[in-house]
Amino acid sequence: MEGVLSHQLKQSVIDGNKVVLSVSNADTKVDDAEFEENEVYAIDIVTSTGEGKLSKDWVKHIQQEWKVVVVYDCKIVEGVLSHQLKQPVIDGNKVVLSVSNADTKVDGAEFEENEVYALDIVTSTGEGK
């Protein structure tokens, strides 16, 4: 999906002044952002799944392969849940946990063909807690 923006999170502000473009296209332009220590970003993603993929595999892929996470040495923040989207429900029964911690645990889910998820991923240049 092209043109999806990610935003810096600040205290009392959801949409900060720095943005990161996930996939560039001709219609969406942003200036390059320079990440500072201990900044937090919300990565906005809408994606469809492949049949038979496991949620834990998707989370591992995010942590190890995403350029913004790897290049800027970011950590995925613990305990953030992503939900399956169903018409007209935006918080479906299947959930994906970004990084588990002692307080937050969910059962693993298997993605089915044509399911759609809104992945809520929060990264930090700090410890990710």
pLDDT tens, 8-38?
A: 444 444 444 555 544 444 554 555 556 666 6
| The model's pTM | 0.48
Specify if 73 maps to a domain: yes
Q: Is residue 74 part of a domain?
A: yes
Q: Is residue 113 part of a domain?
A: yes
CA distance 38 to 48: 31
Which domain range does residue 80 map to? 5-124
Bridging pattern class, strands 5-9 and 40-48: antiparallel
User: Is the pLDDT reported for residue 91 higher than 70?
Assistant: yes
Q: What is the mean pLDDT of the chain?
A: 64
Q: What is the pLDDT of residue 69?
A: 72
Structurally, how many domains does the chain consist of? Answer: 1
**pLDDT tens track for 34-53:** 666 666 655 555 455 555 55
pLDDT at residue 2 above 70? no
* Assigned domain for 129 exists: no
